Structure 1
Amino acid sequence: MACEAQRSGTVETRRGRPRSEASHQAVLDATSRLLSESSYEELTVEAIASEAGVSKQTIYRWWKSKATVVLEVMLTGEAEIEIVPMPSTGDLRADCLTWIRSMLVEAFQETHVGMARSLVVAGLQGDPGTERLLEQASMWDHGPLAERLRESERAGELREGVDITAAASAMGDPLIFRMLTGAAPTTSWAESLVDVVVTGLLRPEEDAAR
């Protein structure tokens, strides 16, 4: 769930009218539920308003678009969009390779590319609340990739002091960039990316053996 600092940065409206915190949270909760049941493309502001029990005008008063609502939901950790599952076999390198190979198949479908582009546009629209969230949070703070890395950290497999968010970002951000440009990477490129990141994360074998 989102930390208090993150949520406090979202309760101010960009048009000077105070938000109802209950309605604000209802919109985030409704968006999260709808995303778990349908795709981003199928999601509409009308559906969010109906699910949250607020008017469409209320949503548009506080958010510029559907994408802005979804971006806030993701940045605050209210919802995680899991395109493909992350396996957990005890072998971090093998699990990340399985994950990224699946991502090459699923993430570069037209619907997911469209969602990624919409969310980037939402982040660039200049909304003060969104800008604060982007400064305070990262979509890689949570989610299946970050949790799998934390699992390896708890098992003592990673170097001391590894920044999990930075590690997840190092593996995920290049994929997002490729999605935005529409240039799907080759399997060998993706596997090399995993190899570079995981090699930098794992403890040296002599340390792990102690």
Structure 2
Amino acid sequence: MTQLPRGRPRSEATRLAVLTATAELIAETGYDRVTIEAIAARAGCGKQTIYRWWSSKSLIVADAVIDGHLRLPEHGVPDTGDLGADLRDWVTEAAASVRIPEHRALIRALAAAASETEAESLRLSEHLTAPHYGALMRRLRAGQARGQLSPEANLDAIADALLGSTLFRVLAGFPPAAHPSAIVDLLLGAGPGGRSG
């Protein structure tokens, strides 16, 4: 939960009403069109109450995602035994997801929330980023153990590049890559269109 300022304690019923209202309004109109005024009206509370507890709309969205009122699409890394094919499928699915404007807007909102404070960044990392990163690292380690990656391969760098290549395009406002799986070929050492075992 976002760190609260000193003052009147937060009502749990009002907090839940705000998060529910935010999720409903985003589903109805999209993140970019949602305003604090609209959230307050839907939640039945004053705008001042919201600003007392959250300093920005993106922080409300972060709480709504962490509490399960809003859900980002989840893309688990498959394990068919073929690391290259699994990663290509994974990045292609992720690229398709971020073509959806609502998903792109939520990712940008969460990035904005993470930039508010170090504590918020750590909280979002713990609940959202770290689990995805951990799953990707486990899949890379499994591939390395099967001899599909060099024992000297820098798995952290590969994971950073796979996740970062998608997020960068979203945050920079670029369209998703036309051929998202090409990054896998580069990272695993295959030539264009090639397959790494």
Which residue in the other structure is 1:163 paired with?
none
1:28, 1:69 within 8 Å by CA — same for their partners in 2? yes
Equivalenced residue count is 177
Answer yes or no: is 1:132 the counterpart of 2:123.
Answer: no
Q: Quick one: structure 1 residues 23 and 149, their matched pair in 2 at CA, closer, same or farther if it must change by over 3 Å?
A: same
Q: By how many angstroms is 1:105 displaced?
A: 5.0
Alignment of 1:24-39 (within 5 A): 24-36=15-27, 38-39=29-30
Aligned mate of 1:44, from 35, 53, 70: 35
The aligned counterpart of 2:50 is: 59
1:202 maps to what in 2?
none
Tell me, yes or no, if the aligned pair for 1:86 and 1:96 is still in contact at 8 Å.
no
CA contact (8 A) 2:99 2:176 kept: no
Could you say if the C-alpha distance between residues 157 and 87 of structure 1 is closer, same or farther in structure 2, counting changes exceeding 3 Å?
Answer: closer
- Bigger mean CA offset, 50-59 vs 32-41: 32-41
Which residue does 1:3 correspond to in 2? Answer: none
Tell me the alpha carbon deviations over residues 37-63 of structure 1, each in whole angstroms, 9 at most, x when there is no partner.
552224332343244332222112222
CA distance, structure 2, for counterparts of residue 54 and residue 168 of structure 1: 43
5+ residue gaps, structure 1, are 1-6, 161-165, 200-204, 206-210
Partners of 1:119 and 1:26 lie apart in 2 by: 20
Structure 1 distance, partners of 2:162, 2:118, is: 23
SS in structure 2 of the partner of residue 19 of structure 1: coil
Counterpart contact for 2:84–2:188, Cα < 8 Å: yes
Change (3 A) 1:141 1:102: same
Deviation at 1:66, TM superposition (A): 1.7
Q: Kindly indicate whether residue 4 of structure 2 is the aligned counterpart of residue 12 of structure 1.
A: yes
Residue in structure 2 matched with residue 174 of structure 1 by the alignment? 165
Q: Say which one has the larger Rg.
A: 2
Aligned to 2:181: 191
Structure 1 residue 70: Cα displacement: 0.9
Q: Is the 8 A contact 1:152 1:158 kept in 2?
A: yes
What is the SS of the residue equivalent to 1:46? helix
Q: Gaps (5+ residues) in structure 2?
A: 146-156, 190-196
Take 2:27 and 2:137, find their aligned partners in 1: how far apart are those partners? 24
